[in-house]
């Protein structure tokens, strides 16, 4: 049994960053290099990455996913839009007019008895009326149908006008104007996340220019971060945890670059790492069955799959995309990485400091070694590093 209690540590409230620093790249940087731990600032990160290597990042964009309703009785109902169901494609969902169905989390759910909630919003371009109807309880989540007028308005525009930035629960304040800019990475492109890929928040144009000078190539993939990323592991036995699922997209060009730089790849964040490692396992599955229709990597599937050479898998995926004339791979992953996992594609990891007893901390422990994570976190706690989403960064080079 792998006990989640072995991945606990004391995290004082004052260590949790409530606001970003004035400048993105001025955050502290903990460097872990083959057992050695020291600190610098993030703007110097290019000094630690090898020339002619690759930096892979997640270009997802956080949406204004929080919708706040008030019943005539005065009760407040908060709906967090997690994933589109009708239509299930993110791009189509954001372009949908008139109505849309989403998987949601609902705050104060016990006060919502099934009546249609209504939100009236006055905007410079006119009045918007948004309705929400609870269709079905789906365990941890709820299925909600939204309708709105003017019906010709897209759901993406509606969220932009009526929604709020979904800050993590450990940031004990309401979203402010600063979050509209600073809770997005400078390379965010494709909308769909309800949480930022926070390792990317430290990057500035200055840092990217320094990386280019060292011929460090950047590779963009997309993984839409779900609220499940904040769910703690509640089972003492890690193996009994039900891992959340997230959608990701790896373009053909990214596959070609991953093959080119194989053995010399830095992942920006746990979401990027999860997407890229999932791509390998997806390739293995397709090699075994090229006619798969639902591209998904299940939670523990990798424990039972063969492990062919990475180059062989990437060559197959590139050929697969070219043969099918598709621009990349759209898939879903439930991959859960724990100590003992053998990493296939990622050589270095840039990441923030994560919550105790979290799947993200398990991933970090898997990357640096089951016992080494604690010395890294002890160093950060004892050297005034700021923790979690708006906190400081680390570069892990086992």
d(CA 83, CA 184): 19
Q: Cβ(16)–Cβ(354) under 8 Å?
A: no
Does the pLDDT value for residue 125 go beyond 80? no
Average pLDDT, the chain: 95
What global pTM score does this model have?
0.94
Block residue for tokens 């998987």: 103
Average pLDDT over residues 234-238: 94
Q: Cβ(383)–Cβ(19) under 8 Å?
A: no
Helices (runs of H) and strands (runs of E) counted in the chain: 9, 18
Exposure pattern of 232-266 as b/e (b: 16+ CB <10 Å)?
ebeeeebeebebbbbbbbbbbebbebbbebbebbb
Q: How deeply is 215 buried, as exposed, middle or buried, from its count of CB atoms within 10 A (0-12, 13-18, 19+)?
A: exposed
Q: Cβ(350)–Cβ(268) under 8 Å?
A: yes
Does the pLDDT value for residue 98 go beyond 80? yes
Q: Each residue of 180-210: pLDDT tens digit?
A: 999 999 999 999 999 999 999 999 999 999 9
d(CA 54, CA 70): 48
| Residue 247 pLDDT | 93
Band of residue 314 on the pLDDT scale cut at 50, 70, 90: very high
Q: How deeply is 195 buried, as exposed, middle or buried, from its count of CB atoms within 10 A (0-12, 13-18, 19+)?
A: buried
d(CA 398, CA 132): 49
Please indicate whether residue 18 or residue 121 has the higher confidence score (pLDDT).
18
Block residue for tokens 């010395």: 375
Average pLDDT over residues 333-340: 97
Q: Each residue of 10-65: pLDDT tens digit?
A: 999 999 999 999 999 999 999 999 999 999 999 999 999 999 999 999 999 999 99
| Residue 370 pLDDT | 84
Q: What is the CATH number of domain 4-62+180-397?
A: 3.40.1780.10
| Residue 122 pLDDT | 86
Residue spans per domain, the chain: 4-62+180-397, 66-164
Q: Each residue of 342-365: pLDDT tens digit?
A: 999 999 999 999 999 999 999 999
DSSP character string of 21-78: -SSGGGSEEEEEETTEEEEEEGGGGGGGSPTT-EEEEE-EEE---EEEEE-TTS-EEE
Average pLDDT over residues 161-176: 93
Does the pLDDT value for residue 230 go beyond 90? no
Dihedral (CA of 192, 198, 200, 204) sign: positive
Does the pLDDT value for residue 114 go beyond 90? no
Band of residue 70 on the pLDDT scale cut at 50, 70, 90: very high
d(CA 198, CA 27): 12
Average pLDDT over residues 252-281: 98
Taking CA atoms, 250 is separated from 115, 282, 287, 384, in Å, by 41, 11, 17, 37
């Amino acid at each position: 049994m792998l006990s989640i209690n072995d991945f606990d540590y004391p995290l004082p409230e004052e260590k949790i960053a409530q606001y970003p620093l004035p400048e993105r790249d001025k955050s502290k940087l903990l460097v872990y290099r083959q057992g050695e731990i020291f600190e610098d600032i993030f703007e110097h990160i290019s000094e630690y990455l090898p020339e002619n290597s690759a930096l892979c990042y997640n270009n997802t964009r956080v949406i204004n996913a929080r919708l706040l309703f008030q019943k005539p009785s005065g009760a407040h109902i908060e709906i967090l839009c997690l994933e589109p169901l009708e239509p299930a494609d993110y791009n189509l969902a954001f372009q949908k007019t008139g109505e849309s169905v989403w998987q949601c989390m609902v705050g104060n759910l016990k006060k919502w008895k099934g009546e249609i909630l209504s939100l009236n919003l006055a905007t410079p371009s006119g009045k918007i009326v948004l309705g929400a109807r609870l269709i079905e309880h789906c365990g941890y989540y709820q299925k909600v149908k939204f309708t709105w007028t003017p019906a010709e308005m897209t759901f993406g525009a509606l969220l932009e006008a009526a929604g709020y930035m979904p800050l993590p629960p450990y940031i004990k304040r309401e979203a402010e104007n600063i979050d509209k800019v600073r809770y997005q990475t400078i390379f965010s492109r494709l909308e769909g996340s309800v949480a930022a890929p926070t390792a990317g928040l430290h990057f500035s144009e200055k840092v990217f220019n320094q990386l280019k000078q060292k011929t460090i190539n950047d590779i963009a993939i997309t993984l839409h971060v779900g609220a499940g990323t904040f769910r703690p592991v509640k089972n003492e036995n890690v193996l009994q945890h039900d891992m959340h699922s997230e959608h990701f997209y790896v373009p053909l060009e990214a596959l070609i670059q991953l093959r080119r730089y194989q053995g010399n790849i830095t992942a920006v964040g746990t979401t990027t790492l999860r997407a890229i490692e999932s791509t390998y396992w997806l390739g293995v599955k397709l090699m075994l069955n090229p006619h798969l229709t639902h591209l998904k990597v299940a939670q523990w599937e990798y424990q039972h799959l063969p492990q062919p050479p990475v180059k062989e898998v990437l060559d197959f995926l590139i050929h697969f995309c070219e043969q099918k004339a598709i621009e990349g791979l759209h898939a879903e992953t439930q991959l859960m990485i724990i100590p003992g996992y053998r990493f296939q594609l990622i050589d270095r990891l840039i990441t923030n400091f994560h919550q105790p007893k979290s799947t993200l901390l398990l991933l970090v422990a898997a990357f640096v070694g089951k016992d080494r994570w604690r010395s890294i976190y002890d160093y950060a706690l004892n050297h005034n590093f700021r923790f979690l989403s708006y906190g400081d960064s680390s570069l892990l080079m086992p």
